[in-house]
Amino acid sequence: MKVIGYTTGVYDLFHIGHLNVLKRAKLECDYLIVGVTTDELSESRKGKRPIIPFTERMEIVEHVKFVDEVVPQTNMNKFEAWNNLKFDKMFVGDDWKGSEKWNQLERQFGEVGVEIVYFPYTSHTSSTKLREVLEKL
């Protein structure tokens, strides 16, 4: 049986942390689908627009060899995404582990046989840190 994996992100200022997550996710599944957050969703959630436009971020992620399919992430409803994509595993950063929202999602996804896999966050680099450096230039 082919195992389908799913993860999402903004993937702004694409860096080694992003690559590591996609590489690790691909090791855990046969087919990896990546949701790239739209500019609008990113702005509504984080209060700022990504530096790299959505279509370019989609194209960058599409060309990562570990990624099999790229889809837009237009909202935060993970269950709606599952209804559309029918993945078997969902990969998220371990900074969410144990939160009320993700405990609830684990229960909900457990009922349909989806495993949530937490990956460690790459602490030495992030788009936020890169953005701060760029703003100082």
Choose, from 2, 23, 26, 48, the residue flagged as catalytic. Answer: 48
Catalytic site includes residue 46: yes
Catalytic site includes residue 48: yes
One-letter-per-residue 3-state SS of the chain: CCCEEEEEECCCCCCHHHHHHHHHHHHCCCEEEEEEECHHHHHHHHCCCCCCCHHHHHHHHHCCCCCCEEEEECCCCHHHHHHHHCCCEEEEEHHHCCCHHHHHHHHHHHCCCCEEEEECCCCCCCHHHHHHHHHHC
Choose, from 23, 26, 46, 97, the residue flagged as catalytic. Answer: 46
Residues with catalytic annotation? 46, 48
